[in-house]
Amino acid sequence: MKKETQRSVRLTLTLLSAALTLSGFAADAPAKKPAAKAIPEFRAPAGQERLTNVVYGTGGGRELHAEILRPITPPAEPMPAVLLIHGGGWAGGSHLGYFAPWLVEKGYFTASIEYRLSGEAPWPAQIEDCKLAVRWLRANAAKYHVNPDRIGVMGHSAGGHLVACLGTLGAVKELEGQGGWPDVSSRVQAVVDQSGPSNFMPGGGPAVGTNQTNHPGLIKLFGGTCAEKPDAWRQASPALHASADTPPFLIVHGELDKLVPIAQSEQLAAALKQAGTPVELLRVKNGGHGLRADKPGDAPAEPDPKAQQAAILAFFDKQLKK
């Protein structure tokens, strides 16, 4: 590995560690049920309605919730659906108020889902909960006027990683968990991964280095170091699991992302392409981890957020409305 790549890896790990600390992560904190969070204020656009505290199943012996944003007057035909998965370093963040009204406006049913964070339970709890949410929605498709064969997922950062895992680990039965709807498929038909990491293994690419195996946030997520839990670290690396059964992907990543370098998405895109999966990597010029300029005065992101939304909508229309 070149010296400049090693320096980039060290910077990435330092920034990720800081982000996890700010999100409330503590490496030695005991696992516990998260405290109830206040529901953020949100005024649904005209023609849309918000349903909150919808129980979609159980994880670790407790209820898991979703927030729904949907058209008040649904279209005649069952709607395509998009599940939204929030970021936060697997240690923070919330599904509350994480909406995409611009999708609802175009006739999509959307639901933002809760999942167990690393302070409550280690991997694979996070992907088990995400798979459970897909099964819940498919099992209740008639109730929500959703087409069960047209379910997509979208997430940012840690959420981007989890949607990529939904796409690449759809056939792994041991990750289904015990939260409900056991006879229903958890496969999805389209994936939008925004700024998600794709390979946690040492030597996995230019954005991955041996120091990563000692990162406290990842050790907490996987319940041990890479040496101690190599199967978990490898299982959670979607770039290593692309196959002919993987659904189409749109990957959106900032070229100036210092938290999760774009090399992670380049590696995932290459693996998907090699497997024969339709994939597009949308590179955001001047974009940081949030897919826009990091601070005022920086050159604006290209494409800008509205253009990114348009590209995502076009992708979902192609894959879920065909």
What pLDDT was estimated at residue 13?
41
In a domain, 305, yes or no: yes
What pLDDT was estimated at residue 217?
86
Q: Among candidates 36, 23, 317, which has minimal Cα distance to 157?
A: 23
Q: What is the pLDDT of residues 192-214, one digit of tens each?
A: 999 999 999 987 654 434 456 66
What pLDDT was estimated at residue 206?
44
**CA–CA separation, 67 and 6 (whole Å):** 41
List the chain residues with pLDDT less than 70: 1-37, 204-214
**Structural domain for 125, as ranges:** 3-21+45-320
**CA–CA separation, 280 and 115 (whole Å):** 27
**CA–CA separation, 322 and 317 (whole Å):** 7
In a domain, 74, yes or no: yes
Answering whether pTM is above 0.85, one says yes
In a domain, 209, yes or no: yes
In a domain, 212, yes or no: yes
Share of the chain above pLDDT 70, in %: 84
CATH of the domain at 49: 3.40.50.1820
In a domain, 36, yes or no: no
Domain count, the chain: 1
Q: Is 252 helix (H, G, I), strand (E, B) or coil?
A: strand
For the chain, the residue count is 322
In a domain, 35, yes or no: no
In a domain, 33, yes or no: no
**CA–CA separation, 258 and 14 (whole Å):** 10
What pLDDT was estimated at residue 42?
80
Residue 207 · residue 261 · CB < 8 Å: yes
**CA–CA separation, 275 and 267 (whole Å):** 12
In a domain, 39, yes or no: no
